């Protein structure tokens, strides 16, 4: 999930320069300081891991580890306070997601330092709470979300993950229910089908990958054809405007609008373009005495239209597509039913994400105009601008072509 950052603040004042230095590192010193912060995060996590999983090593060097942790805490606290003091709008700064992450990186450690001053640390509950606070230092790893890679990697909106979240949640809930039945002894146990399911999953993955490749190739062909068609329209507008000024814009723009409507209509074909094609042909015939350059461009345009409208309606055969979906869902149900415990839970989540995600991706690629999940769609922005151009507002179409 990408982290939305506010815009940099004006840097004329000292507070503005400090805030931009810490929050928007653009200079070499600022970037080096950010690199130091990331290094300290890794060191802090490493200290926590040693403390909880290698107690003997931690006890031998306890003083060194404690001083290092205090130093890291001091740097993080000073950075947070400096950003808060320099922020142009402190309240907005405090409620930002990344500011909350920064606060969580220091708050548990500060509480663990202050707690012995107000409570009797000999009590068992207080000791357990202190240990929990020390473990909470691992929250500092969340600060790595500031790195651009993690922002892209964890993006959720408008992704395949968002589209398949319902099936992921459903599979996890079903597996949780089966897990309870396994624990109570009312379900299959010791079913050794791991190798069989691995082979089936691998085969499904190959089949789905082939469909992804085929639909993506079709997607690219259609997008390239749209670009070629749009370029042809601009060329026609240029030529016609030179021969008969003022006639190119209304006729060619209306043709582009008619084609745009046909492209987005699942049931439209060449017959729906007859009237627009006739008007365009008549305009071009007025501009040349016999078939020449305009006739060739018109033929090229009709070829592109026919290819695009055919490809738009050419989908994966329904029986094949239904078989893929049914096989994928059946495989997920089998994983839920026959792979026990944590292994089953992880297997069904990974399989649902990879296999059902690939299936949904092919659905959108196959439709070329977004499909059911609107994940991927061909880029028709240039064609839309051409069709929407108006004499009064944007000038003739030729003006856009000449820019």
Neighbour count for residue 103 (Cβ, 10 Å): 15
| Predicted local distance difference test score (pLDDT) of residue 130 | 58
Residue 66: CB atoms within 10 Å: 13
Instruction: Say whether pLDDT at 182 is over 80.
Output: yes
- Supply the pLDDT for residue 24: 81
* Residue 372 confidence (pLDDT): 64
Averaged pLDDT for residues 198-203: 86
Residue 124: per-residue pLDDT? 54
Over residues 212-235, the mean pLDDT reads 86
**Is 170 a residue whose pLDDT tops 70?**
yes
* Best-predicted range by mean pLDDT (19-33, 187-201, 236-250, 383-397): 19-33
Angle of helix 194-243 relative to helix 248-264, nearest 10 degrees, comes to 170
pLDDT at 397 over 60: no
Strand partners, 377: 369
Distance of CA 367 to the CA centre of its chain: 19
Average pLDDT over residues 168-193: 82
Answer for the pair 207, 320: CB distance below 8 angstroms, yes or no: no
Q: Cβ–Cβ contacts within 10 Å for residue 232, how many?
A: 16
How high is the mean pLDDT of the chain? 79
Q: What is the DSSP letter of 374?
A: T
User: Mean of the pLDDT values across residues 87-116?
Assistant: 80
pLDDT at 149: 56
pTM of this prediction? 0.57
Mean pLDDT, to the nearest integer, of 173-200?
Answer: 81
CATH of range 14-153; options 2.30.30.100, 3.30.750.24, 1.10.3720.10, 1.20.120.350: 1.20.120.350
Quickly list H helices, 154-247. Answer: 160-184, 194-243
| Residue 40 neighbours by CB distance under 10 Å | 19
According to the model, what pLDDT value does residue 134 have?
Answer: 65
Please write the tens of the pLDDT for every residue from 332-376. 888 888 888 888 888 889 988 888 888 888 877 887 776 666 667
Q: What is the pLDDT of residue 3?
A: 41
Q: Report pLDDT for 137.
A: 67
Residue 390: its pLDDT value, please? 44
Query: CA–CA distance from 342 to each of 176, 178, 347, 351 (Å)?
Result: 10, 11, 8, 14
Q: Match 């000038």 to its residue by tokens.
A: 395
Whether 12 shows a pLDDT value over 70: the answer reads no
Confidence (pLDDT) at 270? 79
pLDDT band at 401 (very low <50, low <70, confident <90, very high): very low
Question: Using an 8 Å Cβ cutoff, are 247 and 396 in contact?
Answer: no
Estimate the share of the chain in helix, then strand, then coil, as percent rounded to the nearest 5. 80, 0, 20
- How many Å from the N-terminal Cα to the C-terminal Cα in the chain? 38
Residue pointed to by tokens 């582009």: 256
The model's pLDDT over 265-299, given as tens digits with 9 standing for 90+, comes to 877 777 888 888 888 888 888 887 776 788 888 88
Within 13 A of 7's CA, how many CA atoms are on the CB side? 3
DSSP readout, 30-60?
HHHHHHHHHHHHHHHHHHHHHHHH-HHHHHH
Query: Are 86 and 127 a contacting pair, CB within 8 Å?
Result: no
Q: How confident is the model at residue 105 (pLDDT cuts 50, 70, 90)?
A: confident
**CATH 1.20.120.350 domain range(s) in the chain:** 14-153
Residue 328, phi then psi, degrees to nearest 5: -65, -45
């Amino acid at each position: 999930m990408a982290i939305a950052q506010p815009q940099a603040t004006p840097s004329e004042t000292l507070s503005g320069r400090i805030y931009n230095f810490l929050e928007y590192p653009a200079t070499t010193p600022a970037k080096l300081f950010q690199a130091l912060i990331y290094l300290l995060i890794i060191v802090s996590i490493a200290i926590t891991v040693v403390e909880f999983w290698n107690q003997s090593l931690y006890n031998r060097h306890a003083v060194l580890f404690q001083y290092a942790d205090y130093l890291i805490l001091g740097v993080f606290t000073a950075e947070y306070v400096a950003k808060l003091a320099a922020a142009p709008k402190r309240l907005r700064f405090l409620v930002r997601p990344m500011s909350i992450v920064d606060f969580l990186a220091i708050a548990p450690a500060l509480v663990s330092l202050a707690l012995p001053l107000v409570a009797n640390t000999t009590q068992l509950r207080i000791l357990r709470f202190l240990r929990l606070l020390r473990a909470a230092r691992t929250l500092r790893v969340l600060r790595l979300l500031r790195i651009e890679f993690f922002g892209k990697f964890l993006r959720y909106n408008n992704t395949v993950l968002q589209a398949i979240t319902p099936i992921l949640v459903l599979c996890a809930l079903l597996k949780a229910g089966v897990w309870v039945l396994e624990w109570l002894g009312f379900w299959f146990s010791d079913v050794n089908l791991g190798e069989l399911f691995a082979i089936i999953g691998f085969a499904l993955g190959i089949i789905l990958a082939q469909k992804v490749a085929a639909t993506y190739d079709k997607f690219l062909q259609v997008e390239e054809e749209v670009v070629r068609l749009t370029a042809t329209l601009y060329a026609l507008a240029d030529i016609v405007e030179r021969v008969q000024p003022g006639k190119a814009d209304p006729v060619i723009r209306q043709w582009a609008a008619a084609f745009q409507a046909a492209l987005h209509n699942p049931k439209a074909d060449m017959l729906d373009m007859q009237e627009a094609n006739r008007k365009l042909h008549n305009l071009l015939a007025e501009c040349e005495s016999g078939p020449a350059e305009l006739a060739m461009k018109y033929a090229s345009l009709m070829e592109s239209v026919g290819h695009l409208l055919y490809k738009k309606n050419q989908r994966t055969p329904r029986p094949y597509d239904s078989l893929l979906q049914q096989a994928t869902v059946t495989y997920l149900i089998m994983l839920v039913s026959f792979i026990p415990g944590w292994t089953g839970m992880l297997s069904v989540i990974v399989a649902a994400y990879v296999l059902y995600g690939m299936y949904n991706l092919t659905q959108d690629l196959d439709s070329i105009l977004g499909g059911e999940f609107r994940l991927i769609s061909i880029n028709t922005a240039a064609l839309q601008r051409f069709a929407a151009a108006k004499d009064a507002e944007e000038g003739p179409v030729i003006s856009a072509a000449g820019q």
